Amino acid sequence: MERIPVLKIGDTLLVSIQTDLHDQMVLALQEDLADRIAATGARGVLIDISGLEIVDSFAGRMLAAIAGISKILDAETVVVGMRPAVAITLVELGLSLNGIKTALDVERGLRLLS
């Protein structure tokens, strides 16, 4: 099964989602990320979803779940590069992702974490 790579840059873990998400991939990512945060002691998680064109409520909840998991493991989550269409969909689904930080692109996201 295809897995989404988790890259470590300094104290930050970078997840770049460039394909549309299947439920299995989402669950695998959640597990991988939890493992990596615990193993590396990362302080920040940056999720780049600029390649994501379609979201459903499952993927939306996943983002919230990942943020929750990171928080318990003492890492901050920043979601970056959300497309307008995705943002509108999430708002229409009633998922405002409270408690998650957002930024326009990876650069600003990193600045937010540092």
Partner 1 sequence: MTFGNVVERCRQNESELVREWREVVARSLAGRLPAALVEKELRDILDALLGALEAGGGTDPQAEPYAEVRALLVELSRDRAQQGFSPRETAVSVFGLKEAVSKVLGDTDVTGFFRVIDEFGLYTFETYTKAREEVITNQAEQLLELATPVVKLWDGVVALPLVGTLDSARAQVVMEKLLQTLVDTGSEHAIIDITGVPAVDTQVAQHLLRTVVAARLMGAECIISGIRPQIAQTIVALGIEFGDIATKASLADALMLALSRLDVDVNAEIAKRSR
Please report, as ranges, the residues that interact with partner 1 according to CB under 8 A.
79-80, 82-88, 90-92, 96-97, 101-105, 108-109
Residue 53 beta carbon to partner 1: minimum distance, rounded to whole angstroms:
13
Residue with Cβ nearer partner 1 (41 or 99): 99
Residue with Cβ nearer partner 1 (6 or 47): 47
Residue 96 beta carbon to partner 1: minimum distance, rounded to whole angstroms:
5
Query: Which of 93, 96, 45 lies closest to 69 in space, CA to CA?
Result: 45
Residue with Cβ nearer partner 1 (1 or 94): 94
Residue 35 beta carbon to partner 1: minimum distance, rounded to whole angstroms:
27
The helix (H) or strand (E) run that includes residue 7 is: strand 6-9
- Separation CA 1–CA 35 (nearest Å): 18
Phi, psi (rounded to 5 degrees) for 6:
-115, 115
Q: How far is CA 58 from CA 22, 31, 80, 96, in A?
A: 9, 16, 18, 14
Residue with Cβ nearer partner 1 (26 or 86): 86
